Amino acid sequence: MNYKIKINGTTKEVDVAPGTPLLWVIRDSLDLTGTKFGCGVASCGACTVHVDGSPVRSCQTFIEDVSDQEIITIEGIDGKVAHEVQKAWQELDVVQCGYCQSGQIMSAIGLLSETPKPTDENIDDYMSGNACRCATYQRIRAAIHLASKNLEG
């Protein structure tokens, strides 16, 4: 079936089965592969994208749910918060295997957009749905603090 989808500032048409998760539309139909598949049950956060500015798990968001929404993936992020988050991630060499990091970054942007000066506890709460098997958590926490500091200045 054909659906229209607004993604990274443009409208695309895709032909997928009804009920297809947004994740697979993004990856298989639109070839935006920065968004990752980790679990398929909204338990790891690797598939996190922004829908109308808020982080959601695209593996549990379905094509029918996003007919009017603006979707942004890691490839389409823009603005001051996104820029500082990516810069902080690079500065502190957060990544290891890197597979979960698009999702981590999408969540971190969401956190700092809502809470510009998060505490460790705020970070732990907000980021708890994003798993990293390389356990880069200490650096994720530090990078969020660094981005927050740089956004102030």
Partner 1 sequence: MNIKSSRRDFLKGSLATGAMLVIGLNSDGVLAAGTADATLNPFVKISSDGSLTVILKHFEMGQGTSTGLTTLIAEELDVEWDKVQTEFAPADVSKYANLMMGMQGTGGSTSIANSYLQYRKAGAAAREVLIRAAADKWGVAPSDIRIEKGILKAGNKSAHFGEVIAEAAKLTPSAEPTLKKSSDFKLIGNTRIHRKDHISKTNGKAIFALDVKVPGMVYVVILHKPQFGAKLKSFDASKAKNIEGFIDAKALPTNEGVAVYANSTWNALQAREAIVADWDLSKAEMRSSDQMFNDATALLDNPAYSVRGDREEARKGNMSAAKKLDIEFRLPFLAHAPMEPQNCVIEPTKTGVIVHDGCQMPTLVQQMVADILQLKTENVLVNTVYAGGSFGRRANPTSDYVTEAAMAFSLLGGKTPVKLVWSREDDIHAGYFRPLAVHKVSVGLDNQGTIVGWDHRIASKSIMKGTFLEAMAVQNNIDNSSTEGCADTGYEIPSMSVGLSDFITPVTALWWRSVGHSVTGIVMEVTMDMAAKAAGEDPVDFRLKMLPGNTPAQKRMANVLKMAADKADWKKPLPAGWGRGIAVHESFGSFVAEVIEISTKGDDIKIERVVCAVDCGLIINPDVVTAQIESGVGYGLGAAMRNQISFTDGIIDQSNFPDYEPLRIADIGKIDVYQVKSDEAPSGIGEPGVPPSGPALINAIADATGKRVTYLPLSENGVNFA
Chain contacts with partner 1 (rule: CB under 8 A): 16-17, 20-21, 24, 27-29, 31-41, 43-44, 46, 73-75, 86, 89-90, 93-102, 105, 123-125, 127-128, 130-141
> CB 89 → partner 1: shortest distance, Å?
5
Give the shortest CB-51-to-partner 1 separation in angstroms.
17
Spatial CA neighbour of 110 closest among 134, 82, 132, 135: 82
C-alpha dist (Å) from residue 107 to 3, 11, 20, 59, 85: 26, 24, 23, 15, 10
CB of 111 to partner 1, least distance (A): 11
| 117 or 133: CB nearest partner 1 | 133
Residue with smaller CB distance to partner 1, 69 or 74? 74
Q: Which is nearer to partner 1, 34 or 151 (CB)?
A: 34
**Nearest to 129, CA basis, from 60, 79, 80, 66:** 60
Q: How far is the CB of 36 from partner 1 (least distance, A)?
A: 7
- Other C-beta atoms within 10 Å of 86: how many? 18
Q: How many residues does the chain have?
A: 153
**Rounded Cα gap, residues 102 and 69, in angstroms:** 20
